Each structure stands twice: as C-alpha cells, then as structure tokens.
Structure 1
Amino acid sequence: MSGVSEARQSRSQRIDHVAAGLAACLPALNRSVERGIAARLPYPKPPERQLALLRYVAENDGATVHKAACALQMQPNNVSALVTRLTEAGMLERRQDHTDKRVAHLRVTAEARRRIAEAEEVATRQLASTLRTLTDGELEALGSALGALAGLVQRLRDRSV
C-alpha cells in the first residue's frame, strides 16, 4: 500500500472514529444539560423546539416564520404552530408586516427574554461546575475544540439547506 493511500485510510478511520464519538457523546451531553435545566427552573421548561424558536427570535428580532423555519431546519407549518402556542403563552408577539399583511414579524416578550437568560445561566453554571472536575489537559482539549465544533455545526447547517 502506498503512503498516500495509507494516509487516506488513516484519515478516513480518524474521521469515522470522531464521527462515532460525536454521535454518541453529543446527544448524551445535550440530554444531561436539558435535564439539569428542567430540574433547576422554577417553572416547566419549554420543549426544546419551543426554546430553539425563542432563542432564534431573541437573536433575530423581527424574524418571520419562514426565516425561522429555514434557520431551525423545520417545516414552516410546525414553526407556525409553535408561534401560536408561544404567543398564547405570552412568550412571543406577532407584528403584521406593513406592506404584506400575510407576513408576521416575531418578537420575544420580556418574560421570554428573562426565561431564556435563566435557562442559559443554569446550563452555564451546570457545565462550569462539571468542567471544574476535569484535568487541565481535558479542559484545554475541550477549549481547543470549541472553534472546530462551531465550524462543524455551521457546515451541517449549510449542507442541509
């Protein structure tokens, strides 16, 4: 076997190893964080899709249902149903577009902003507490991987659009 094909096989094996590790670790990490948030909030934690929509609208004030659906990789009718529930719960406001009355611009309410901040604070405290139990090497490795993970997330989003 030539050095080039060995290098390709080695890279391919590393990619498969990292992919399998991420596929196993990330859902478990997310579930642990979500459980921690739910256990520490003084009110029921919104389902993940609702929270994702609230976070998106908080970061993209005035977004439309269509833009939110594209960004969250969801069907517009599902986002519309979430918007209806969150509007009824006082977490979102719909404001009709001035030029096209069929289009609504979304804004999170002050209560939703407060709840999003609370959930993020709980998650950050939970993760920070657990990170303190890691070795310096483990912490350094995770810190070094943050940029690569953000890039991976963006590429996954770009590929599914």
Structure 2
Amino acid sequence: MDIYRAAERLMTMDDRAWLRHANPWSGWTRFTGLPLLVLAIWSRVWVGWWSLLPVALAVAWIWLNPRVFGPPKVFDHWMTRAVLGERIFLTHRDGIAAHHLRAAHVLTWLSLPGLCLMGIGLGLLWWEGAVFGTILTMLPKVWFCDRMVWIHDDWVRAGRAVPGRESA
C-alpha cells in the first residue's frame, strides 16, 4: 500500500486542487490542520459529545484548505515549490533520484513516534504528550517539504515539465 497515494485519494486531490494548494497561503495554513484537530479532540474534556462538532470542523478545514486559495501568481515561493515538488513525488517517482526517495520515506517514518505520542496523550488526557507529540509529528513534515523543494528544483533544472503548471 502506498500511503502517499492513499492520502492523495482520501483528500480527492485533482490537478485544480493541487494548483490552488500551491498558493503559499494554502501551504502554510495547512500546518494549522493537525493542531486544530488535536485541540478539537481534546475539547471532549470541556464539551463532551459536542466535541464532534469541532472535530468535524477541523476535518472539513483539512479537506478544504487546498481548495480555498486561488492558484499562485508566481511559482518561485518556497512553499509553492514544496507543494509542486510533492506533486512530482507522487506522480513521477520513477524519475526522482533515489536519495530523495529515501529521505522522503525516512522523514515520513520519523513522524510516526510523534503520532503515537500524540495519540497516547489524547487518549490519556496527558496534555504534554499531546502537544509534544503534535510537534514531533509536524517537524519531519516541514523537513519533508524542504526535500520536496529540492525535488522540484532538480526537476526544473533537468528541463522537465512540472505537473500542474502546464495549465497555469
């Protein structure tokens, strides 16, 4: 099972959504999704079953975020290149250098301990575990984005067309 493609299918990302997500505002505000979801789950302490409402709103934001901003006006912003690099990573893995693929996989796996700690913290109402786990989950994602910029820049230097930019 390819976790990356499964996530893309779950998010129902098409060419138009990817192009809109390449807007730096979309890329950067995307990092609010996990903390909002954690806070929404934690809200069960305060509001009980009503916490399902903020959980639903957080999930809706995670799904809507790549769609609410317009396409980028320029394509040289770091976050724009990160998103477009991720698109290259998802659609053209056979054309990406092996060291980039290894790094992307390692960074994805490095998120797992934080995700486990976050889950334990949320389950046991251990706020330190939930907060620290969230941070440990997100830090490798930022590094992953940096790797995606590298993939994008290598792809462009090689003279290849960037998926999603053909229609821009």
TM-score (normalizing by structure 1): 0.29
Larger Rg: 1
The structure showing larger relative contact order (alpha-carbon pairs under 8 Å, at least 6 residues apart) is 2
Task: Report the structure, 1 or 2, having the larger strand content.
Answer: 1
